[in-house]
Amino acid sequence: MRALQLTEPGRLELREVPTPEPGPGQLLIRVGASGICHSDLHVLHLPFKVREEPLTLGHEIAGTVAALGPHVEGREIGDRGLIYLCWSCGICPECASGNENVCRAAGRTAMPPCPGLGPDGGMAEYVVVPATSFVPIGDMDFVAAAPLADAALTSYHAIRGARDQLRPGATAVVIGAGGLGHVGIQILRALSPVRVVAVDSDPGKLELAAECGAHEGLPAGDDTAARILEMTGGRGAEAVFDFVGVDATARLSVECVGPNGAYRMIGLGDGDPGITAGPAGGPGLPWGATVRKSYGGTRRDLIDSVALAREGRILARTEQFALADGARAYALLEQGRIRGRAVLVP
Ligand code: NAD
Ligand code: ZN
Ligand code: ZN
């Protein structure tokens, strides 16, 4: 089969590789579509190899069950679904509580195994996955469904974790209306009555944010925090979702979140929010505000995201590329030229 693989730091190649075989408890999935996440760019640019042999990227996978490994019950060849990206142990106390995204087996700061970031991922004709990761999507289109596996899952989880702040009259700021953010805006609108303020450095992304239901759009700049304070009577926003995570957006988050507000770090740009334990004067973190570094989501969050999409309440905007054209799609994402999510179709 053909697979888009990371062979050296920064180098993507379309290669012929053997079609994998499902082992006990696994499914072979014929990939229908595989989304490109900005996290792949972070991996692409790591100065070292993620693993010794070439790695097939892709953690937003939609497809069809093509074969069942031994001891798999409850799935049939031809079933259509998404692959939940936390391949957690399933038995630890966190997994037992449904917090598979912080599975104990991953240790303190690692992530549970994720397709395309350790095990081979979905940018190929076939991929082998744990049967427990399969989440049915009914007759949903694969290209529309694939971004739910991360762009919706991760946004949904971050938003669900801030639900106490998302009350009538409240303001939620979404920083970065890219692959995750444009879906996050729709999830906020679907789940809550808040006013949504989108912030992006790209005017085109602010247009997309408006199309997705953002009430206001602000260009990222030196005065963005001041403008948000002005819009919120000087208090700041009840919730801030930073889908970029660089220094500028981390600082902005601290400067525009309100007292008892929720600041959620989702973007992985290594940004330093500059939080100190001093009295909350000036632009610092106000009293009561919480910071949460949010990773992925739970399997239930994915099931909920699929339900929202099937009801037509959220729709990932996508740009479709052939698998063979994958390197070009990555380049466009890197240049900020993808509107919504780029999705590869093998
Ligand atoms: P993307 O490239 O599709 O979107 C990024 C958006 O941010 C774009 O609209 C861009 O214009 C905007 N942007 C860039 N710099 C900005 C700035 N300084 N100020 C305001 N806007 C800015 O990326 P994506 O796929 O949506 O991923 C976003 C981030 O989330 C990445 O860092 C990715 O690695 C991370 N991520 C985290 C998790 C998690 O579990 N925490 C999961 C998936 C992705
Ligand atoms: Zn991702
Ligand atoms: Zn576990």
CATH number of the structural domain spanning residue 183: 3.40.50.720
Spatial separation of the C-alpha atoms in residues 74 and 263, rounded to whole Å: 40
| 58 is a domain residue | yes
- Please say which residue of 253, 268, 293 terminates a domain: 293
- When divided into structural domains, the chain yields a total of 2
* Contact predicate 63/77, CB 8 Å: no
| 312 is a domain residue | yes
**Helix H or strand E segment including 335:** none
Q: What is the CATH number of the domain that holds 323?
A: 3.90.180.10
Atom of ligand 1 nearest to the CA of 41: 34
CA dihedral 244, 250, 252, 258 (to 10 degrees): 110
| 155 is a domain residue | no
What lines the ligand 1 site, CB under 6 Å?
A: 37-39, 42, 150, 154, 175-181, 199-202, 205, 220, 243-246, 248-249, 266-269, 294-296, 333, 336
| Residues measured by CB to lie within 5 Å of ligand 3, the ion | 88-89, 92, 95, 103
Task: Give the domain extent around 253.
Answer: 162-293
Please list the pLDDT of the chain residue by residue as tens digits (346 residues). Answer: 999 999 999 999 999 999 999 999 999 999 999 999 999 999 999 999 888 899 999 999 999 999 999 999 999 999 999 999 999 999 999 999 999 999 999 999 999 999 999 999 999 999 999 999 999 999 999 999 999 999 999 999 999 999 999 999 999 999 999 999 999 999 999 999 999 999 999 999 999 999 999 999 999 999 999 999 999 999 999 999 999 999 999 999 999 999 999 999 999 999 999 999 887 678 899 999 999 999 999 999 999 999 999 999 999 999 999 999 999 999 999 999 999 999 999 9
Instruction: Tell me the whole-structure pTM to 2 decimals.
Output: 0.98
Atom of ligand 1 nearest to the CA of 199: 20
| 8 is a domain residue | yes
C-alpha 296 – ligand 2 centre gap (Å): 8
Same domain, 171 and 193: yes
* Contact predicate 317/340, CB 8 Å: yes
Same domain, 144 and 6: yes
Same domain, 101 and 178: no
Calculate the alpha carbon distances from 228 to 210, 285, 292 in Å: 17, 15, 21
Spatial separation of the C-alpha atoms in residues 49 and 66, rounded to whole Å: 30
Contacts by residues 199-204 (CB-CB < 8 Å, ≥ 24 positions apart): 199/173, 199/174, 199/175, 199/224, 199/249, 199/252, 200/175, 200/176, 202/336, 204/339
Same domain, 47 and 105: yes
Q: Whose CA is nearest to atom 11 of ligand 1?
A: 202
